Chains A and B, each alone.
Chain A
């Protein structure tokens, strides 16, 4: 029992140590406040922003953008990935095109997106959708292509209906790979949104951070960075939880 507690604590020792050193250097004047505000100041800023409600407003806006973009891009990618994975005809027509587009850094589209959508919601959602599309597409497609053909042959010879063959053999077989795609795309999702919000937005955490920079409110800038870290960690934990739940048959995830 005692050992378990130590194991739970272990990953946090270094982060805590860093924060403590950071705070101490600030307070002793080694690290100037104009370069990096003390953790306590960041917490204070966070508290003030939270009390005034501004923080949650920005948080909510950013999260909504992220989720809508993820749902749109992810579901299109999922459907096309499945289509290309099981219909050779579709694969011949679509895969090369998608692989070509995949190599465009999606942030290179920002100037175009600003011209198309201005600083409205659509632009950010569009960018997020594009960015999550590729990891989910690639991993869904490969997951399906890599399902053991001997298992599919077995399903066929055992007269499973097309529907059962699809869900019980192909989709479940591709699930580990699909989840890798989801996990990866959740990271990309925040990354893209942050950049998009810092470049072209009038709300959201990225905007909050850029706005604070104008007034040299370093504590708020750091607060925004920390929020991103937390949001990213939450997204990753959700993906991990999904893996644990959906892949419990796999000894690797037990």
Chain B
């Protein structure tokens, strides 16, 4: 049913010089799950994602995909906060980059572009598109090669509120269709609840909270459970400011 990659992090540690950014993260993400990682800026959530993507070297511990330590990027696609489209290639060829531009990439790229509703813009330059459209092209590029793991590093952070909602729907819809493993780093709690099966909260380089989200999809804010979850997460995020290390454990016990 799922062709996703399962991820296993064992005591994953990352230090930049003396600064310990990740302090021994243990986490198992089963194949096909949609996990959101939330946390305040600088908490190490993006670093965690970059280590899983092999864009960053870990200092210690293990980061396993399907039980092995992978060195390359096969099956893994990343979407960044910036669209990272190549301005000198057409929209279609940009999507084709996802399929490495090897033989017969056009039909695949066109199909991916169709999925994000931009088929008719295939031959234009990226600079004529709006910010949201560019991110949709970037999403098409990420999906054109049928990834088994999609890593999303705050891909909607720079978009306006309305476009964000549209993109969230699109991301959910495509994930439901293709069932890859999905890891979303975000600082937007509502976005995490809308999309994820499970929310991980990182705090000072530690895994502070692991919260399953069992709301029926598509999720709406009008659901009281939604508000409840949002409340828990927000309180936790804001509460950190006063009581740094005591609260996480209490909350973990409740959940």
Contacts and interface: CB of A to CB of B under 8 A. Distances in A.
Interface in A33-82: none
B88 interface: yes
Interface string A150-184: 11011111111100100011001101000000000
B101 interface: yes
A150 B102 CA distance: 22
A159 B73 contact: yes
Nearest to B87: A249
A105 interface: no
Interface residues of A, number: 22
A172 to B, nearest CB: 4
Contact of B86 (A159, A172, A248): A172
Contacts of B86: 151, 168-169, 172-173
Interface of A is mostly: helix
A168 B97 contact: yes
B38 to A, nearest CB: 23
Contact of A158 (B89, B125, B126, B141): B141
B87 A250 contact: yes
A160 B101 contact: yes
With most chain A CB atoms within 10 A of its CB, the pick from B72, B82, B97, B141 is B97
Contacts of A159: 72-74, 100
A159 B54 CA distance: 12
B45 interface: no
A150 B127 CA distance: 17
A156 B89 CA distance: 17
A158 B73 contact: yes
A250 B102 CA distance: 25
B97 A157 contact: no
Contacts, number: 60
Contact of B100 (A158, A247, A250): A158
Contacts of B101: 160, 164, 168
B77 interface: yes
Nearest to A248: B125
A175 B88 CA distance: 10
Interface string B48-85: 00000111000000000000000011101110101010
A251 B84 CA distance: 17
A173 B88 contact: yes
B87 A157 contact: no
B157 to A, nearest CB: 15
A252 to B, nearest CB: 10
B4 interface: no
A13 B87 CA distance: 38
B98 interface: yes
Contacts of A151: 84, 86
Nearest to A250: B87
With most chain B CB atoms within 10 A of its CB, the pick from A151, A154, A161, A164 is A154
8 contacts: A159-B72, A159-B74, A168-B101, A172-B88, A249-B88, A249-B89, A249-B125, A249-B127
Given A151-B84, A154-B80, 20 more contacts: A150-B80, A150-B84, A151-B86, A154-B78, A154-B97, A155-B97, A157-B54, A157-B55, A157-B78, A158-B97, A159-B74, A172-B88, A173-B86, A175-B88, A247-B88, A249-B88, A249-B125, A249-B126, A249-B127, A250-B127
